[in-house]
Amino acid sequence: MAILSIVVVSLICGLSMFAVRGASNDQLEVYSWWTGPGEEEGLAAMAKSFEGTNPGVRFVNAAVSGGAGSNAKAILASRLLANDPPDSYQRHAGLELLDDVRSGKVQDLSDLYRQQGWNKVFPKGLIENLTIDDRIYAVPVNIHRANLMWYLPKTLKDLGISAPPKTWKEFLAQAEQIKAKGKIPLAVGPEWTQKHLLETVLLGELGADNYDKLWAGQLSWLSPEVTGALDTYTKVLAVSDVKSAAGDWQPQLDKVVSGSAVYAVMGDWSSSYLEQTKNLAWQTGYNVVASPGTDGIYDFLSDSFTLPTGARRPDLARKWLIECGSTDGQNLFNPLKGSIPARTDADAALYKNYLSWALQQWRDPKTRIVGSLTHGVVANNAYNAEIDSALGLFVQDDDQAKFARTVELQYRETQ
């Protein structure tokens, strides 16, 4: 039965791809993992706008669900290997795209950036993180923020805590007070959320300059600065519920909502979950601050789209990318997705509650922009995979020195 199921699925996939290839040339196939609530509606809104400005062209939504994008990436990899790319596909902005660039799977979009004036409306820090070998290969549709700590004001009030911690040292002091009251200081989820926590601790302890130097190979994992940051991470994990970690980020936040845990470090997709699923009001029901030590720093990640080499309709793909980078396209998508536009000239009135605060910070010229490790910006795929493996062992054995030696070596091996 299992073999028969695989054959049937293969035939369906094959027929589906044949249908796309054999249909009219006046269509655009766009590949993504946007199938969840909000993001699916946002993509549909952009698709409708694209078809409206390109009469007679059909938008083919080739989204693949499941695995937080891992299923889509696996199928995409097989299509790229077979030289059968969609007309445009989704990647996280940054070094997640490096393998595709080096293998010639994507086209340089630097000219399109100049034609559309995107260098002037995307912040400098974003442009720097999009640039690979002096060229840009993807157009960002949205911005999410990674370095955030979520909590319930009521929980802090009940514990007699006046405000969330400004530093990780202050957090560790609060943790003793929280444990004494029988609550979990920090809820965590599966391994990727523990990595997400690692990057926020590194950022808070090292500061933006040294954080950037670490990923550029200009600061050693064996340096006193990083050793101190890893020591803090070890202490933070020790007051978390890592031994009974939640199965995903939603149940991680559920512990905060129930009051059994006080804080959770997670990206700002949490705001939609807390408002829409948990029916909590911004600032009164739930609230959020920059993770300790990172005020004024925006640790970003972004969904972006590409122009693949060998796309059947590169002309339509470029028009799609223009839609993705346009003010109208980003304003159609982001309020539904629960993210903010990459552009700094979008209509602020469209963004409410948490998103209004996030957009204000993103636009502030004093805000320092850095890239997320966990979400594909600052480390290539091979290095990220090595960090995953080393971190899994580190969380189990607490051998900080071994972790640092391993990731230091693997940086050199994977560049």
pLDDT tens track for 4-50:
333 333 333 443 443 444 445 699 999 999 998 899 999 999 999 99
277 domain-assigned = yes
Are 274 and 403 found together in one domain?
A: yes
Residue 178, pLDDT score: 98
Helix (H, G, I), strand (E, B) or coil at 144: strand
The per-residue pLDDT for range 336-361, each reduced to its tens digit, is 999 999 999 989 999 999 999 999 99
Residue 73, pLDDT score: 87
Are 154 and 140 found together in one domain?
A: no
The region of weakest confidence among 30-39, 189-198, 252-261 is 30-39
Are 236 and 332 found together in one domain?
A: no
What one-character DSSP code corresponds to residue 93?
Answer: S
The per-residue pLDDT for range 263-280, each reduced to its tens digit, is 999 999 999 999 999 999
Note whether 299 and 145 are within 8 A (CB).
yes
Host H or E run for residue 111:
helix 110-116
Are 157 and 267 found together in one domain?
A: yes
Residue 71, pLDDT score: 85
Q: Which of 409, 277, 319 is closest to 139 using CA atoms?
A: 319
The per-residue pLDDT for range 137-148, each reduced to its tens digit, is 999 999 999 999
Q: Is the pLDDT of residue 370 over 80?
A: yes
Alpha-carbon 380 to chain mean position: 14
286 domain-assigned = yes
Rg of the chain in Å (alpha carbons)? 22
Residues ≥6 apart with Cβ < 8 Å to 384: 96, 373, 376
Residue 91, pLDDT score: 95
7 domain-assigned = no
Residue 346, pLDDT score: 87
Q: 10 Å Cβ neighbour count for 406?
A: 19
373 domain-assigned = no
Note whether 85 and 94 are within 8 A (CB).
no
Are 222 and 327 found together in one domain?
A: no
Residues ≥6 apart with Cβ < 8 Å to 267: 144, 145, 146, 148, 196, 301, 375
Are 269 and 224 found together in one domain?
A: yes
The burial class, CB within 10 Å (0-12 / 13-18 / 19+), for 102 is exposed
In which residue are the tokens 């609060």 written?
Answer: 174
The per-residue pLDDT for range 54-67, each reduced to its tens digit, is 999 999 999 998 65
pLDDT confidence bin for 127, thresholds 50/70/90 = very high
Q: Give me the DSSP letters along 315-371.
A: HHHHHHHHHHHSHHHHHHHHHHHT-B-SSSSS-GGG--THHHHHHHHHH-TTPEEEE
Structure tokens at 142: 């949205």
Are 355 and 286 found together in one domain?
A: no
9 domain-assigned = no
Residue 24, pLDDT score: 53
Are 49 and 108 found together in one domain?
A: yes
Are 322 and 274 found together in one domain?
A: no
Are 202 and 264 found together in one domain?
A: yes
Q: 10 Å Cβ neighbour count for 26?
A: 12
Q: Is the pLDDT of residue 68 over 80?
A: no
Residue 283 sits at φ, ψ, to 5 deg, of 75, -30
pTM, two decimals, is 0.90
Q: Is the pLDDT of residue 379 over 70?
A: yes
Structural domain total, the chain? 2
Residue 69, pLDDT score: 74
The region of weakest confidence among 69-73, 104-108, 313-317 is 69-73
253-257 average pLDDT score? 98
Note whether 24 and 316 are within 8 A (CB).
no
118 domain-assigned = yes
33 domain-assigned = yes
Q: How far is residue 107 from each of residues 33, 49, 112, 131, 316, measured CA to CA in Å?
A: 21, 24, 11, 13, 14
Q: Is the pLDDT of residue 163 over 60?
A: yes
Average pLDDT over the chain, rounded to whole?
93
pLDDT confidence bin for 1, thresholds 50/70/90 = very low
Are 77 and 124 found together in one domain?
A: yes
Indicate which CATH number applies to the domain containing 49: 3.40.190.10
The per-residue pLDDT for range 77-118, each reduced to its tens digit, is 999 999 999 999 999 999 999 999 999 999 999 999 999 999
361-388 average pLDDT score? 96
**Which structural domain range is residue 186 located in?**
148-293+380-414
Are 288 and 313 found together in one domain?
A: no
176 domain-assigned = yes
